Amino acid sequence: MNNYEKAVALWKRRNITNDAELAEALNGHSIAFAYHSGKIENDRITYNDTREIFDHDGVTSYTGDLRTLFEIRNAKAANELLLTAFNEKRAVDEALIKEFQYKLTQNTYDTRRWQLGERPGEYKRHDYVTGRNEIGASPEDAPEELAELLDELNNIPDEKVLTAAAYFHVKFENIHPFADGNGRTGRLVMNYILLLHYHPPVIIHEEDRKDYYSALEAWDERQELDPMIAFLKEQTAKTWQKQIEAADRKSRNEAR
């Protein structure tokens, strides 16, 4: 059994069914996820600021810009939505995705986007291409393309959830349905999909962003999904490495 398989087995063993159990299982990981996901987009985000906001809803001696502070606070609000949605077993639909995006981007749209009529929680009204391949569906096509993607994800068998989550993520980022926050929204919704199907959530570590972007580009350029699946397996093992090592030590001690 490799480390990815061990991480999945350890998670399933916990048999998490409600928000309280999930919050306990994610102790510390929610902060790490928010930090890494935010820092991929905004290098000014720090782990200490993220931890202070998650633990105390504020920071001390902060000297950064207000947008960064709002982004961290928004990540906490989005995490709270994830716990509530999991407890209610809400379906992954357009309304939930818009709600996640709203939580993650409220009070952070820049002046240019705001003047163009863009609003958190609403589909983009203008073209925003991104990345080397200039991805992004047109504003007219984005809602329909996202609806088609969600239809494809109906009735996911648990054993195929990592593939489905990887597919959702590469397609969602390729569509780029919002004026801002697509990466953070896509990573959070991907984890929510995993959680609904008894799979451990994954932190995409900011120091591995080069491999992450390469996996996204493999889809954009060649519609290859295997690089993202392999990357997510590696990141899952990395996310839960301490728990895996603790379980391995316990097994060795019991075998003596």
| Domain layout of the chain by residue ranges | 3-250
> How far is 187 from 37, CA to CA, in rounded Å?
7
Tokens of 139: 């504003």
Dihedral, CA atoms, 120, 123, 125, 130, nearest 10 degrees?
90
Tokens 């900011």 sit at which residue?
206
Highest CATH level, class, for 3-250: mainly alpha
pTM of the prediction?
Answer: 0.95
252 — alpha (psi -120 to 50), left (phi > 0) or beta? alpha
Could you read off the pLDDT tens digit of each residue along the chain, which spans 256 residues? 899 999 999 999 999 999 999 999 999 899 999 999 999 999 999 999 999 999 998 888 777 789 999 999 999 999 999 999 999 999 999 999 999 999 999 999 999 999 999 999 999 999 876 666 667 889 999 999 999 999 999 989 999 999 999 999 999 999 999 999 999 999 999 999 999 999 999 999 999 999 999 999 999 999 999 999 999 999 999 999 999 999 988 878 877 6
